[in-house]
Amino acid sequence: MLERGKHISTSFDSALDSLKNDALMMSSLAERLLERAMQGLLQRDTDLCNAAIADDEEIDILEKQIDQEGVDLMIRYHPVAADIRQVISTMKMSSNLERIADQSVTIARRA
């Protein structure tokens, strides 16, 4: 995500930071899920595959949370220019991360 300067509204900065942190957490979880699914497939390890499948629920929850935070942020603060691009990009990114997680679950189930 793009670095940005501080805003007059610290609550706006706090909301953006929360959105960013949730996206970073989601990306780490998606990476872990994919790694577990691949290792489970290659090693024929059902425990790794089951762990990958279980992680998907948390990613689904985070996607919904990021979307809700993004909508709330846009309604409450009416961001402009770079800020609105950052919010929308984060929301789009969460959708793609969720798709990666879903594909990883498919890999884990086929293992």
Distance CA 33, CA 23 (A): 15
Let me know if residue 67 belongs to a domain. Answer: yes
CATH number of the domain at 64, please: 1.20.58.220
For residue 46, with 0-12 CB atoms within 10 Å meaning exposed, 13-18 middle and 19 or more buried, which class applies? exposed
Let me know if residue 7 belongs to a domain. Answer: no
Give me the domain span that covers residue 76.
14-110
At 85, the amino acid letter reads: R
Let me know if residue 66 belongs to a domain. Answer: yes
Q: What is the pLDDT of residues 9-45, one digit of tens each?
A: 799 999 999 999 999 999 999 999 999 999 999 999 9
User: Can you give the pTM of this predicted structure?
Assistant: 0.87
Give the pLDDT confidence score for residue 27 in this predicted structure. Answer: 98
Closest CA to 76 of 13, 4, 2, 6: 13
* Structural domain count, the chain: 1
Let me know if residue 23 belongs to a domain. Answer: yes
